[in-house]
């Protein structure tokens, strides 16, 4: 793998010549020493749906080994308000090695997605990734199928008004190119980091929405120019897809901020403009093959059952997956 020429491979995999799934604690210590990493940063999703972080400065090898093995304690009553008793609020956040990445916004940090662990060593039952993990494993056990997902992320890049030259027509930005679309270079930067860190990207492009002047009471976005973008992924196991989507929103927002822009996933910015979608497509996989069709061009029986289940439990899925009503 060391000779792999492709630029969008995770740099950590190139450094240790391994796939992400095969990373060990010793591999990560090698990365820390070789890249002169100063801190480990843990990321985890709280009840509000946003990615949180904890920075752990590195002092010596013993400390690194402890952090990578045991994780660190956090206040569960603050992260999951109303679900965790303040008197029994300690949770552990423990890194998942295959999620390791070099932070593009902090060159001295090695970052991880974490699991929430209770003090008895069990997964925190109320954490989103625990719920998904249990559902994924139960589904695989009962059906002998794997559930794959791919995200389709739409968002607006809001930037200060640009030159009046080559203005993109309102609501006609679909697959637009420069010089009509002004933020293409920012999208390129986003795709590079998302592909290296969050998961395999299928494609990215300009979407329909173009807003010359955003009408809003929020100073953060009022009067800005809006260009709608989309990044779509290739299918991966649903647990990996969920981690990738959380990281993708974090990456997009940080890159936009670095360029003086605002990235918003708000479903609808204003009337008469295209709304943002945050879709997750699903597929049934068996023996590494798509099981959604019967080989004759029709839906398979398993696919019909999947669709029926999604319709039956739509209310519950929405209550669980759409808990945040504004961006």
* b/e map 76-91, b = 16+ CB within 10 Å: bbebbeeebeeeeeeb
Q: With cut-offs at 50, 70 and 90, classify the pLDDT of residue 2.
A: very low
pLDDT at 90: 83
Separation CA 100–CA 171 (nearest Å): 39
Residue 88, pLDDT score: 66
DSSP string, 215-277: --S-TTTTT-EEEEEEEEEPPEEHHHHHHHHHHHHHHHHHHHHHTT-EEE--S-SSTTSPPP-
The arithmetic mean of pLDDT across residues 243-271, rounded, is: 94
Q: For residue range 199-256, what is the model confidence (pLDDT) as tens digits?
A: 999 999 999 999 999 998 888 899 999 999 999 999 999 999 999 999 999 999 999 9
Backbone angles phi, psi at 290, to 5 degrees: -65, 130
Residue 292 pLDDT level (bands cut at 50, 70, 90):
very high
Is it the case that residue 86 has pLDDT exceeding 80?
A: no
Contact (CB, 8 A) for 154 and 278: yes
Instruction: Give the separation between CA 199 and CA 203, rounded to whole angstroms.
Output: 12
The per-residue pLDDT for 281 is: 94
Give the pLDDT of residue 182.
92
Taking only the tens place, the pLDDT of each residue in 29-38 is 999 999 999 9
179 preceded by cis ω (within 30°)? yes
Q: Residue 319: which pLDDT band, with cuts at 50, 70 and 90?
A: confident
Structure confidence by residue, pLDDT tens digits, 89-103? 789 999 999 999 999
The predicted model gives 182-195 an average pLDDT of 96
Listed residue (200, 154, 160) closest to 183, CA to CA: 160
Phi, psi of 6 (to 5 degrees): -75, 135
Residue 259: pLDDT band (50, 70, 90) is very high
d(CA 274, CA 234): 24
Q: Tokens representing 167?
A: 């203005």
Pairing of strands 39-45, 109-117: parallel
197 Cβ neighbours under 8 A, 6+ residues apart = 10, 101, 104, 247, 251
CA 75-78-81 angle, to 5 degrees, is 130
Both tokens of 259, joined, read 């360029």
298 pLDDT more than 60: yes
Map out the domains of the chain with their CATH numbers.
11-130 (3.10.20.70), 146-291 (3.30.590.10)
Tokens of 37: 């990493």
Full DSSP string of 24-87: -HHHHHHHHHHTT--EEEEEEE-TTSPEEEEEEE---HHHHHHHHHH-EEEEHHHHTTTTS-GG
């Amino acid at each position: 793998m060391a000779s792999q020429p492709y630029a969008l491979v995770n740099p950590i995999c190139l450094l240790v010549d391994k796939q992400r799934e095969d990373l060990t604690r010793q591999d990560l210590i090698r990365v820390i020493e070789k890249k002169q990493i100063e801190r480990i940063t843990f990321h985890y999703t709280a009840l509000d749906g946003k990615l949180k972080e904890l920075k752990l400065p590195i002092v010596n090898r013993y400390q690194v080994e402890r952090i990578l093995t045991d994780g660190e304690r956090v206040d569960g009553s603050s992260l999951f308000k109303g679900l965790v008793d303040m008197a029994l609020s300690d949770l552990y956040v423990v890194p998942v090695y295959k999620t390791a990445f070099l932070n593009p916004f902090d060159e001295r940090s090695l970052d991880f997605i974490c699991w929430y662990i209770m003090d008895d060593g069990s997964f925190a039952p109320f954490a989103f990734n625990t719920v998904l993990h249990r559902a994924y494993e139960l589904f695989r056990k009962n059906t002998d199928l794997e559930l794959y997902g791919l995200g389709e992320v739409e968002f607006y890049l809001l930037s200060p008004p640009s030159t009046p030259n080559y203005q993109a027509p309102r609501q006609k930005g679909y697959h637009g190119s420069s010089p009509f679309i002004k933020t293409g270079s920012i999208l390129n930067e986003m795709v590079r980091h998302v592909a290296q860190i969050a998961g395999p990207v299928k494609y990215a492009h300009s979407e329909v929405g173009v807003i010359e002047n955003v009408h809003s009471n929020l100073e953060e976005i009022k009067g800005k120019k809006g260009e709608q973008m989309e990044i779509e992924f290739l299918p991966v196991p649903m647990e990996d897809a969920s981690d990738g989507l959380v990281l993708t929103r974090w990456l997009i927002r940080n890159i936009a901020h670095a360029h003086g822009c605002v990235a918003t996933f708000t479903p609808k910015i204003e009337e008469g403009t295209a709304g943002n979608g945050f879709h997750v497509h699903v597929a049934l996989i068996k023996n590494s093959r798509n099981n959604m069709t019967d080989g004759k061009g029709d839906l398979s029986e398993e696919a019909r059952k999947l669709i029926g289940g999604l319709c039956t439990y739509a209310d519950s899925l929405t209550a669980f997956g759409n808990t945040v009503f504004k961006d």
